[in-house]
């Protein structure tokens, strides 16, 4: 039997890991977005560490930027009093601009790490108190409404695949039986 490709999905994850929880079995009806299973992956730890590191870098960059802005103000006052040269003032302004650019770069890195955690892996960027353990597990979700036709996972299994196929129940599927295949 062959199912229509436009109404069936192979379900898996973008990260390798170990299955910790399985919520549905073959034959179960599922809805789009429903969590089918959860898996532990070291990618979550690595990405969350990168996210926290990026936050630290942003804090450092913001402090350096604030100092650079104060330096511009101070150098401007000294220049107005003829106690600093135009070259010193321009250098202070350039350092301030560079510091602002570093802040923007750090913000971009934080956003990239947040998107990877939340949208790609499906876990929160920051674990809420009391939910640390669940926030470490990647949810494996159903891509559509349908039935789980095959299940290729169990708790403790490693790898990348999950429920092998979910078939859309909203449209009757023409059966396509091919002999000898």
* pLDDT tens digits, 16-49: 888 888 898 888 888 888 998 888 888 898 999 9
Task: Kindly list the domain boundaries of the chain, sorted by start residue.
Answer: 5-41+138-167, 43-121
pLDDT in tens, 58-84: 999 999 999 999 999 999 999 999 999
Closest CA to 11 of 173, 162, 180: 162
Q: What's the CATH number for 5-41+138-167?
A: 2.40.50.100
- Residue 74: what pLDDT? 97
User: pTM for the complete prediction?
Assistant: 0.72
- Tell me the C-alpha distance between 108 and 113, whole Å: 9
- Which of 180, 166, 148, 177 has the alpha carbon at shortest distance from 1? 177
Among 175, 168, 124, which residue's Cα sits nearest to residue 142? 168
Tens of pLDDT, residues 118-165:
998 889 888 777 666 678 898 988 888 888 887 777 676 666 555 445
* 163 DSSP β-pair partners: 151
């Amino acid at each position: 039997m062959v199912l229509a490709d436009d109404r069936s999905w192979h379900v898996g994850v973008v990260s390798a890991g170990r299955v910790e929880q399985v919520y549905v079995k073959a034959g179960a009806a599922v809805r789009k977005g429903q969590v089918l299973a959860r898996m532990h992956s070291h990618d979550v730890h690595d990405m969350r560490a990168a996210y926290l590191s990026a936050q630290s870098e942003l804090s450092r960059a913001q402090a350096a930027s604030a100092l650079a802005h104060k330096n511009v103000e101070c150098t401007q006052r000294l220049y107005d009093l003829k106690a600093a040269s135009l070259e010193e003032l321009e250098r202070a302004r350039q350092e301030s601009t560079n510091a602002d650019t570093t802040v923007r770069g750090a913000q971009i890195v934080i956003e990239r790490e947040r998107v990877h955690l939340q949208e790609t892996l499906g876990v929160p960027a920051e674990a809420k108190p009391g939910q640390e353990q669940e926030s470490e597990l990647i949810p494996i979700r159903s891509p559509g409404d349908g039935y789980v036709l095959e299940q290729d996972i169990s708790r403790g299994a490693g790898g990348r695949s999950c429920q092998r196929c979910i078939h859309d129940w909203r449209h009757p599927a023409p059966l396509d039986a091919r002999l000898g295949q």
